[in-house]
Amino acid sequence: MAAKKYMVPMSSPDISEDDRQAVFETMQTRYLSIGPKIEAFERSFREFTGAAEAVGVNSGTSGLHLCVKAAGISEGDLVITTPFSFVSSTNVLLFERAVPVFVDVDPMTGNLDVAQVKQAVEDIISKDPGKLKKWLPKKIAVKTGPLKAILSVDVFGQPAEYDQLQKIVSDHELTLIEDSCEALGAEYKHKKAGGFGDFGVFAFYPNKQVTTGEGGMVITNNKEYADMLRALRNQGRAPGDTWLQHTYLGYNYRLDELSAALGISQMKRVNKLLNDRQRVADWYNAKLSQINGVEKPFVTTDTTRMSWFVYVIRLDKQIDRDVLANKLDIAGIPVRPYFLPIHLQPYMVDLFGYQSGDYPVTEDIGNRSIALPFSGIMTEEQVDLVCEKLSECLLN
Ligand SMILES: *Cc1c(COP(=O)(O)O)cnc(C)c1O
């Protein structure tokens, strides 16, 4: 598919001369996979997040999948999660035939509504079939088992409410998987995203804050989990196995050395990358204040550092989002509806019988939101241009 010519790109990676050099130098070595770069990249994450263990993988989705496996989540197990996310966070549960228990989101942040999460946990463990039924999908192909985990997502770079989520998981001995794939460097009450659960996962697709082309990283403080993640990413080879011994059914989820080299180089200036994105978000925040009909992204006071992944605005109810998106597209400004709710994706409707109206807050936000072009290398002129076109398209 030929790329359409836009006046401003939807997103752009920030690649420096040092980044290019780092990849180039790695190509001169004999280590293109399983070498020193992956280890150094993992070290950079231990240092940045303070986690005891970091395990590099070839995508955020692979990382999340391995967390599900390492946590022992299997067929029929229930996992509370959010329908307002990128599909991966639910798909990794389906890979293991676990059953996602969707809980609607907070209308301001779009993150899991913790009061409802608490209610869902209490209802599910009450063993009262009537209460349980309220939270389950209409149609389930497997026999349901116990509630095992909460998989929360730090949507758009803003951490979920971890004081509450941590209390819930510790009261009920559940596993907490934190999908921080959009939130590298974000802080909740001065603590870094990714570090609030038993596992935290980051992703490095080119539109993320730090990129390796494709790639991901899992952090944990649990050595046994880390050993399992390392075995499963490497075709099931446990510590001590030889190249052709496979203790477990594993995967090839390894991150290659070229990608890791790019990752190390990017992590050296991670704070600059995040600050550049903050500056662009600040421009948008200032300029959008003068435009009627749009709501700027909401950042709670608990988010002591926002890690801007995308810049998503909400439109007033009377504005037809899709008509506006189309006008902007024609005007040369790419925009994306964010997110199409997971429960309404065709395969989810087929599998679980969801209907519109099932998660009203998620659907309302999903219907009214668009992501504007965004990256750390956008200029103020580009932000001006987007705001000008947005303003024109809203008026005509
Ligand atoms: C980007 C992202 C992922 C992982 O994406 P990959 O493309 O597999 O690296 C997972 N969850 C969320 C919420 C994401 O935004």
Give per-residue pLDDT as tens, 152-184: 999 999 999 999 999 999 999 999 999 999 999
Assign a CATH topology to domain 17-267: Aspartate Aminotransferase; domain 2 (3.40.640)
pLDDT confidence bin for 3, thresholds 50/70/90: low
* pLDDT higher than threshold 90 for residue 314: yes
Q: How confident is the model at residue 334 (pLDDT cuts 50, 70, 90)?
A: very high
Residue in 67, 181, 208, 233 to alter for ligand 1 test, most ligand atoms within 8 A of Cβ: 181
CA–CA gap between residue 305 and residue 46 (Å, rounded): 19
What does the alpha-carbon distance between residue 197 and residue 183 come to, in Å, rounded to a whole number?
14
**Cβ(153) to ligand 1 under 6 A?**
yes
Q: Which of 101, 85, 84 is nearest to 93 (CA)?
A: 101
The yes-or-no verdict on residue 339 having pLDDT over 90 is: no
302 CA to middle of ligand 1, Å?
23
Instruction: Determine the pLDDT at residue 310.
Output: 98
For residue 43, CA distances in Å to 56, 162, 293 come to 10, 25, 46
* Ligand 1 mean position, distance from CA 181 (Å): 5
State in Å: Cα 1 to ligand 1 middle.
Answer: 23
- The pLDDT of residue 2 is above 80: no
Q: Whose CA is nearest to atom 4 of ligand 1?
A: 60
Q: Is residue 356 over pLDDT 90?
A: yes
Please, where are the H alpha helices in the chain? 17-27, 36-49, 60-70, 88-95, 114-125, 129-133, 162-172, 223-233, 257-268, 270-288, 321-330, 346-352, 360-368, 380-395
Which two three-digit tokens encode residue 5? Answer: 């010519």
Instruction: Say how far apart CA 159 and CA 179 lie, in whole Å.
Output: 10
- Residue 179: strand, helix, or coil: strand
CATH classification (class only), 271-395: alpha beta
Alpha-carbon Rg for the chain in angstroms: 21
Q: Is 111 in the pocket of ligand 1 (CB under 6 A)?
A: no
Q: Provide the 10 A C-beta neighbour count for residue 85.
A: 25
Amino acid 307: pLDDT = 98
Residue 254: pLDDT band by 50, 70, 90 thresholds?
Answer: very high
Q: Which ligand 1 atom lies nearest to the CA of residue 61?
A: 8
Q: What pairing do the DSSP bridges indicate for beta strands 175-179 and 199-203?
A: parallel
Give the angle 146-148-154 at the CA atoms, nearest 5°: 140
Query: Tokens standing for 315?
Result: 């439109």
- Domain ranges across the chain: 17-267, 271-395
Indicate if ligand 1 lies below 6 Å from the C-beta of 207: no
Strands 216-220 and 199-203: antiparallel
The pLDDT assigned to 374 comes to 98
What mean pLDDT do residues 72-88 have? 98
Residues 279-283, mean pLDDT to the nearest whole number: 98
Q: What is the mean pLDDT of the chain?
A: 97
179 CB near ligand 1 (under 6 Å): yes
CB 106 within 8 A of CB 240: no
Does pLDDT of 285 surpass 90?
A: yes
- Ligand 1 centroid–CA 292 distance in Å is 32
CA angle 328, 334, 338 (to 5 degrees): 100
Backbone φ and ψ of 190, nearest 5°: 70, 10
Ligand 1 center to 93 CA (angstroms): 14
60 lines ligand 1 (CB under 6 A): yes
pLDDT at 125: 96
CA–CA separation, 303 and 111 (whole Å) = 12
Angle, CA of 307, 310 and 312, to the nearest 5°: 115
What is the predicted pLDDT for the residue at 127?
A: 85
Please, how many CA atoms are within 13 Å of residue 175, restricted to the half-sphere of its CB?
23
- The residue whose CA has the least distance to atom 5 of ligand 1 is 60
Select the more confidently predicted residue: 349 or 3.
Answer: 349
Say if pTM beats, i.e. exceeds, 0.95.
yes
Mean pLDDT of 4-16: 93
Mutate to test the pocket of ligand 1, among 62, 81, 82, 89 (most ligand atoms within 8 A of CB): 89
Most trustworthy range by pLDDT among 4-8, 140-144, 161-165:
161-165
Instruction: Write the pLDDT tens digit of every residue in 227-251.
Output: 999 999 999 999 999 999 999 999 9
Condensed to tens digits (0 to 9), the pLDDT of residues 85-124 reads 999 999 999 999 999 999 999 999 999 999 999 999 999 9
Percent of the chain with pLDDT over 90: 97
